């Protein structure tokens, strides 16, 4: 058994108290506790405590310290349970303490993955151009359960997804390009896929908008044709035409347009 000989307030933190114990060999500093722990165990000068009680007091104090860390972390924004857990792990908090803290935070409604998922989806929809698949992946990385993600994503309607995908498409096609319409569409599809839009929405968005018109498409093939010619100018006749056609076909131009372009060439210039 030990006797509490003195309790003093810490100078830098008025909510923590230093405890001094006498194990029969004189007073010595033992440990510090949070004010809530001090009150919970009714610690006071002259009180006798055994080793088991000391262990329990220190365990509860560790929980309190981890809880305070979590509250500070949550003050910045809503967090998933996994985010809080990962944060405490980085702070070297032991697993049994983390479990106790998470349980307490959940009971007090400070963490709730269902509410978090719904708020996260709404924020992403209102402030970003991300599609549902990307948002889903981000929620999975934050440890949110699949069923909670599905319920939250129900707020992201197909109509809204298409609206956002079309806006991205309009922005993409507003930039001048010397590439074929086919290549432009392929690039746009990849952009929308990386943004997290499903294939059905991508197809509708791309088909709703058109890239190059006929005049722009012919300007694009002229540009790409000039580049191809610099590569194959040493060839002539049938071999030259075949290499030009193959190169332009790989660039996404239709064979009809390629034939038209080849026919328009003034071969004397080559």
pLDDT digit string, tens, across residues 97-136: 999 999 999 999 999 999 999 999 999 999 999 999 999 9
pLDDT at site 213: 64
Q: Which two tokens stand for residue 229?
A: 């010619």
Q: Please report the pLDDT score of residue 208 as a whole number.
A: 72
Give the pLDDT of residue 200.
Answer: 94
Mean pLDDT of 136-154: 97
pLDDT at 218: 77
User: CA 191, CA 156: separation in Å to the nearest integer?
Assistant: 19
pLDDT above 50 for 266: yes
Which one, of 79, 40, 85, lies nearest residue 66 by Cα? 85
pTM attached to this predicted model: 0.76
The per-residue pLDDT for range 34-82, each reduced to its tens digit, is: 999 999 999 999 999 999 999 999 999 999 999 999 999 999 999 999 9
- Examine the fold and report which residue of 49, 67, 86 is the final residue of a domain before the chain moves on: 49
Q: Do 251 and 219 reside in the same domain of the chain?
A: yes
Is residue 174 included in any domain, yes or no? Answer: yes
Half-sphere exposure of 89 (CA within 13 A, CB side): 8
Rounded Cα distance, 178 and 225, in Å: 11
pLDDT in tens, 174-219: 776 778 888 888 899 999 999 999 999 999 988 876 655 677 777 7
Q: Which residue has the tokens 């791309």?
A: 206
Task: Check if the beta carbon of residue 54 is closer than 8 Å to that of residue 20.
Answer: no
Which of 212, 233, 252 is the C-terminal boundary of a domain?
212
Is 54 inside any structural domain? no
**Domain span holding position 164:** 158-212
Q: Which has the higher per-residue pLDDT, 64 or 263?
A: 64
Number of domains observed in the structure of the chain = 3
Residue 73 lies inside a defined structural domain of this protein: no
Residue 261 confidence (pLDDT): 83
Q: Is residue 70 part of a domain?
A: no
* CATH, residue 230: 1.10.10
The whole-number pLDDT of residue 211 equals: 53
Please indicate, yes or no, if residue 201 is contained in any of the structural domains.
yes
Q: What is the mean pLDDT of residues 25-40?
A: 93
In a domain, 242, yes or no: yes
Q: Is residue 90 one of the residues assigned to a domain?
A: no
């Amino acid at each position: 058994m030990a006797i509490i000989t003195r309790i003093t307030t810490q100078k830098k933190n008025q909510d923590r108290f230093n405890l001094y114990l006498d194990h029969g060999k004189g007073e010595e500093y033992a440990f510090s506790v949070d004010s809530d722990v001090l009150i919970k165990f009714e610690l006071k000068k002259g009180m006798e405590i055994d080793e088991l009680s000391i262990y329990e007091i220190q365990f509860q104090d560790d929980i309190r310290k981890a809880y305070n860390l979590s509250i500070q972390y949550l003050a910045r924004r809503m967090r998933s349970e996994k985010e809080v857990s990962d944060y405490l792990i980085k702070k070297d908090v032991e697993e049994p303490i983390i479990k106790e803290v998470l349980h307490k935070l959940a009971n007090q409604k400070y963490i709730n993955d269902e509410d978090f998922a719904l708020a996260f989806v709404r924020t992403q929809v209102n402030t970003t151009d991300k599609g549902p698949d990307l948002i889903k992946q981000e929620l999975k990385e934050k440890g949110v359960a699949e069923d909670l993600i599905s319920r939250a994503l129900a707020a992201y309607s197909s109509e809204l997804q298409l609206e956002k995908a079309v806006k991205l498409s309009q922005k993409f096609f507003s930039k001048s390009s010397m590439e074929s319409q086919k290549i432009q569409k392929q690039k746009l599809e990849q952009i929308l896929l990386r943004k997290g839009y499903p294939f059905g929405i991508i197809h509708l968005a791309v088909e709703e908008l058109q890239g190059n018109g006929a005049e722009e498409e012919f300007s694009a093939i002229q540009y790409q044709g000039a580049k191809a010619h610099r590569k194959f100018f040493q060839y002539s006749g049938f071999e030259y035409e075949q290499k030009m056609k193959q190169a332009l076909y790989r660039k996404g131009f239709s064979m009809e347009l390629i034939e038209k372009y080849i026919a328009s060439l003034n071969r004397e210039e080559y």
